[in-house]
Structure 1
Amino acid sequence: MAESTEPPYVRIAAELSRRIVDRELAPGDKVPSTRQVAQDFGVALATATKALDALRAEGLVITRPRSGTVVAPRRGKAGEPAAELTRERVLGEAIAMADAEGLEAVSMRAVAGRCGVAPMSLYRFVEDKEDLVNAMADNVYGSAAFDRDESASWRSQVESLCRDLWRLHRAHPWLGRTQPLTRPLPLPNVIRLGDRLLGALEPLGLPPKLHFDVHVLLFSHIVGLAANFEAEDEAVSETGLSSEEWTDLQYQHRFGDEAFMTAHPHFSKLFGHFGSMSDGYDLDLEDLFELGLGLILDGIERLPARRSAAEEGA
């Protein structure tokens, strides 16, 4: 019998795909790790990685933070007609993939795999990956009401809008990457949020540029902090260490170094043997969001008085 000319990773991917189709590996089951695949099939780690990447590209497996690589949810039972392919379904699958694996995992081919269609089918609904990602972002922003009670104080309205936006970015950590501060896209639902935030700030009577700057500052506070959730998920997947474990490895030996602490007296007051936080510091992004929002709003509240004082002193 002639030997197969297919690359080893293709044969491995085909075998793992068969196990998934035959339900030897069910949705949610952990897929063999790269090291396990290499051992089971007698190949190099690089070959095993390519095989798992091939399954990922087909949408058969997904990588979940802290869980590893698992079989993707099945979209229908064998023998059942495939669900109708619509723009809403395409965006829903793409958003679910980005939520589970990050934006880098989203490709036309991978989304088509999750939908059970050929990649070319997606071009009926989006022009390319860039158009897909923009539509995903607008869809997610559109899922939030961003309501504001115009009878409430400006501060209460701003707090409500900012907390809605924070919850949205917490649920979809990749979202911030679609709206860089210096090159924001004019997505309809982002403009809707911006307009409502500007309306909430209007009673302050700020000059036009300052008015707009303040709304940008609030948006960047939320997006900038929320981006750390995605970065932390990626770091946990790569290192296997939580942020607390990683920080302990990086800093514990330094804080136990007398020379280091002597050279940094303010750190020593906090983290030295007799410091006020000698047990360590646990960073909490939720707490930082609330602290930062409060400080920013306190500063905004004082802007009119500062402007009046500056004009009187001129």
Structure 2
Amino acid sequence: MVEEAAPPYVRIVDDIKRRIADGELRAGDRVPSTRQLARDWDVALATAAKALARLAQLGVVVAEPRVGTVVAGTPGRSPRRQHGDPDEAGRDASHGPPHGPPHGPPHGPPHGPAHDPARDSGRDRGRDPVRDSGRDAARDLTRDRVVRTAIEMADAEGLPALSMRGVASRLGVATMSLYRHVGSKDDLVELMIDQVLGDFPLPAEPPDGWRTRLEVAARAQWAAYRRHPWMARVTSLARPLPSPSLLKHTEWALAAIDGHGLDPETMMHVHILMYTYVQGIAAHFESEVRARATTGLTDDEWMRAQDDQLTAIVTSGPYPTFVDVVARMGGDFDFDFDRLFEFGLRSLLDGLAGIIEKD
């Protein structure tokens, strides 16, 4: 029995294994999706995704192309498990699921495996459906599928949780199969960036005016960060990625301010300033996404939990202006990342006008 102190993803894993052991889920059946598990268990998407990834690592589920995540193993039988593979609660997986029957081995009925005519026929003798499924998945594998799957995992779990092994498990293939399509995890991340920015393209024909051009690029970047917060951890200012999509944004920004009499260094500074403004807001947005997934609290809920402590600090110190501003807002500041982004973008462009249009 799982202890109450077990992490949520462990309880999800054990519940899926119990349902398989009880026959509620059989080999080949689809298991609940990440979003469905998140709704059913009232957990973050990252928690649900971690549970599915762990089940895949244990060989309990596999990803079927064009189908989804299904219970592994021969239809009608429990999935195979590796001897001695410890599960999340510290038990030895060879002892069977925590809620399974107390007698008999975990790989079939107590008196031996069920009769399967297909496996006994000469035509199918020696076939392993799990292995064959993995081979089919490897044959269907493409670079686009690898990249799209990695993006989905990073969206759900965050970039630190992304690994080549995890992507392979989600796709139902051997880890080495990925290296026929991407050279390394770093290469994969670069491809992910290119794909994401490609989903938020710059216009084929640039609009008139430097200000409008910079504004269009900034909004495209913000939309990409908003949809894929993990990007804020990757696009370093001092160590830029060799990404064609990122270079397109650099070219766009420099072309927008070219011909205004700026020296090359100033042009680069203008571009970098615009880029880091968007990334800076996005980095705080990504931190909020991670905090919400970790704590389960929204920013408003977290602030309410700090009310007493903040009130004690404010009332005990010389902060008259802060107290006055908060009071004039009715005691409630409605923080919104999109409104902050728009305010900052407008202010930044107003400031740059004094440099770009100085003549």
- TM-score if structure 1 supplies the norm length? 0.74
Which letter does structure 1 place at the counterpart of 2:318?
A
Q: Is the 8 A contact 1:148 1:157 kept in 2?
A: no
Whether 1:168 aligns to 2:224 is yes
Residue 26 (structure 1) aligned to one of 24, 32, 35? 32
Q: Give me the CA root mean square deviation.
A: 3.5
> What is the number of residues matched between the two proteins?
270
Deviation at 1:253, TM superposition (A): 4.5
Distance in 2 separating the partners of 1:222 and 1:129:
25
Structure 1 counterpart of 2:340, from 283, 288, 311: 288
Range with bigger deviation, 17-26 or 168-177: 17-26
Q: Does 1:278 align with 2:280?
A: no
TM-aligned CA distance change 1:76 to 1:258, over 3 Å: closer
Q: Supply the distance in 2 between the matched residues of 1:177 and 1:257 (Cα, whole angstroms).
A: 33
Cα deviation 1:121-168 (Å, max 9, x = unaligned): 001111221221122112222333212644611111111111111111
Matches within 5 A, 1:217-256: 217-255=273-311
Paired with 1:283 and 1:268, the residues of 2 have a C-alpha distance of 17
The correspondence of residues 185-264 of structure 1 with structure 2, limited to 5 A, is 185-255=241-311, 259-260=315-316, 263-264=318-319
User: In 2, distance between residues paired with 1:93 and 1:229?
Assistant: 23
Q: In the alignment, is the contact (CA less than 8 A) between 1:225 and 1:289 conserved in 2?
A: yes
Q: 2:159 corresponds to which residue?
A: 103
Give the CA deviation at 1:185.
Answer: 1.3
The C-alpha deviation readout for 1:20-57, integer Å capped at 9, x for no partner, is 85547422432786x9xxxxxxxxxxxxx9xx957425
Instruction: Decide whether the 8 Å contact of 1:161 with 1:197 is kept in 2.
Output: yes
Match of residue 321 from structure 2: 266
Q: Distance in 1 between the 2:63 and 2:168 partners?
A: 14
Offset at residue 60 of structure 1 (A): 7.9
**Superposition deviation, residue 172 in structure 1:** 0.9
CA apart distance, 1:102: 1.2
Distance 1:257 1:239, change over 3 A: same
Aligned partner of 1:5 in structure 2 is: none
Instruction: Summarize the Cα distance change of 1:171–1:16 in structure 2 as closer, same or farther, 3 Å threshold.
Output: farther
The more displaced of 136-145 and 153-162 is 136-145
C-alpha displacement of 1:264: 0.6
Task: Show the counterpart of 1:129.
Answer: 185
Q: Deviations over 1:212-256 (max 9, x none)?
A: 111111111111111223221221122221101112222454336
Structure 2 SS opposite 1:29: helix
Closer, same or farther: CA 202–282 of 1 in aligned 2, 3 Å = same
Question: 1:190-221: per-residue Cα shift (whole Å, max 9, x none)?
Answer: 11111011111224322211111111111111
How many Å separate the matches in 2 of 1:147 and 1:72? Answer: 40
How far apart in 1 are the matches of 2:265 and 2:168? Answer: 44
In structure 2, list runs of 5 or more residues that go unmatched. Answer: 1-9, 71-128
**Is the partner of 2:208 in helix, strand or coil?**
coil
1:56 — aligned with what? Answer: 53
Q: Separation in 1 of the partners of 2:26 and 2:260?
A: 59
| Cα offset, 1:304, TM superposition | 4.6
> CA deviation digits over 1:40-85, x for unaligned, max 9?
xxxxxxxxx9xx9574256589xxxxxxxxx998643479854711
Aligned to 2:73: none
Identity %: 35
The amino acid that maps onto 2:181 is: F
SS at match of 2:215: helix
Deviation at 1:104, TM superposition (A): 1.9
Secondary structure in 2 matching 1:237: helix
Corresponding residue of 1:183: 239
Contact 2:314/2:323, CA 8 A, preserved across alignment? no
Instruction: Give the TM-score normalised by the residue count of structure 2.
Output: 0.65
Residue in 1 aligned with 2:66?
76
1:15/1:22 CA distance change after superposition, 3 Å: farther
- Aligned equivalent of 2:82: none
Deviations, residues 68-108 of structure 1 (Å, cap 9, x unaligned): xxx99864347985471111111011111111221122111
Amino acid at match of 1:112: A
Amino acid at match of 2:197: Y
* Equivalent position amino acid for 1:15 in 2: K
Distance 1:164 1:92, change over 3 A: same
Does the CA-based 8 Å contact 1:148-1:196 persist in structure 2? no
